[in-house]
């Protein structure tokens, strides 16, 4: 007596296809076994699929290079002001990645901007979407070193592979004109190809101070605003509220 099909056979096909196996062969073998044999095969292939997916997620998280991976468990949303038509569910669903939309997380220090950006990277990796995380200063140093070693185009291509690119702490340190051209290239090449998330404590009107060039800053703002949304953060620093060293 053969299985001939049924739910277990369909599980064999679905799990096997996810592992890169051939549909025709899977259907043939799923129809040859007894119900117990087909169930065993389905469970084996599902375990293989789960193992591969876990390995993929772990590899993506390592490549993302988060300094301190975060999640949204227990996240304090009280400091966040949402733009019209975009809310928490949209953010957690990563819907902005589908449209290659950008996010600017702007506001007071210590209100959860970097935490949010890090947690978005973790969510993306869990969804098997490639993400990369850089502070603005680290990105400049990395690209400058690549340029000096004659491999800038290759480095930009590596950065450009990520569907989600985070540039953290824009404005914490000013960029010299030479260094500012490098993240400008990243944002320009990401336009309508990647989603860029920028965290900053500076309003757009002050970005010229960061890039050392008002026109370059305006060009960056123009790109991130065109397909982007602004999330504003206001409130007391989380680190100050929970500091061990308290003023008397």
**What length is written for the chain?**
248
Give the closest residue to 229 by CA, choosing from 65, 113, 83: 83
34 near 3, Cβ under 8 Å? yes
Q: Can you tell me the distance from the alpha carbon of 7 to that of 185, in angstroms, rounded to the nearest whole number?
A: 51
Domains and CATH numbers, the chain: 7-58 (no CATH), 80-241 (3.40.50.300)
Q: Which two tokens stand for residue 186?
A: 């990243």
- Return the H-helix or E-strand segment holding 204: none
Angle at the Cα of 113 from the Cα atoms of 67 and 127, rounded to 5 degrees: 65
pLDDT digits (tens, 9 = 90+) for 129-183: 999 999 999 999 999 999 999 999 999 999 999 999 999 999 887 788 788 889 9
**Residue of higher predicted confidence among 4 and 115:** 115
Query: What is residue 174's predicted lDDT score, i.e. its pLDDT?
Result: 76
Lowest mean pLDDT among 27-31, 73-77, 110-114, 198-202: 27-31
pLDDT at 157: 94
Q: Residue 66 has what DSSP assignment?
A: -
What is the reported pLDDT for 31?
84
Per-residue pLDDT tens for 70-129?
Answer: 999 999 999 999 999 999 999 999 999 999 999 999 999 889 999 999 999 999 999 999
Model confidence pLDDT, tens digit, residues 113-141:
999 999 999 999 999 999 999 999 999 99
pTM of the model: 0.82
How far, in Å, CA of 26 to CA of 10, rounded?
A: 9
Contacts 24+ apart (CB under 8 A), 155-162: 156/185, 156/186, 156/189, 159/132, 159/186, 160/189, 160/190, 160/193, 160/194, 161/130, 162/130, 162/131, 162/132, 162/194
Count CB atoms within 10 A of the CB of residue 142. Answer: 15
């Amino acid at each position: 007596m053969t299985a001939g099909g049924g739910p277990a056979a369909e599980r064999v096909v679905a799990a096997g296809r996810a592992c890169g196996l051939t549909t025709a062969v899977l259907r043939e073998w799923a129809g040859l076994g007894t119900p117990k044999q087909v169930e065993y095969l389905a469970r084996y292939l599902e375990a293989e699929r789960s193992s591969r997916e876990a390995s993929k997620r772990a590899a993506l998280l390592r490549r993302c290079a988060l300094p301190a991976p975060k999640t949204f468990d227990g996240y304090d949303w009280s400091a966040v002001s949402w733009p019209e038509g975009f809310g928490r569910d949209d953010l957690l669903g990563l819907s902005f990645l589908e449209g290659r939309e950008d996010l600017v997380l702007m506001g007071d220090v210590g209100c959860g901007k970097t935490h949010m950006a890090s947690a978005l990277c973790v969510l993306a990796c869990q969804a098997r979407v490639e993400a990369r995380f850089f502070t603005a200063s680290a990105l400049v140093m990395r690209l400058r070193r690549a340029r000096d070693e004659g491999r800038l185009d290759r480095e930009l291509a590596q950065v450009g592979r990520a569907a989600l690119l985070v540039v953290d702490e824009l404005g914490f340190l000013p960029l010299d004109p030479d260094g500012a051209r490098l993240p400008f290239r990243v944002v320009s090449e990401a336009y309508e190809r990647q989603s860029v998330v920028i965290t900053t404590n500076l309003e757009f009107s002050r970005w010229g101070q960061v890039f050392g060039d008002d026109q370059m800053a305006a060009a960056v703002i123009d790109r991130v605003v065109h397909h982007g949304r602004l999330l504003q953060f206001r409130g007391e620093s989380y680190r100050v509220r929970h500091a061990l060293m308290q003023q008397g």
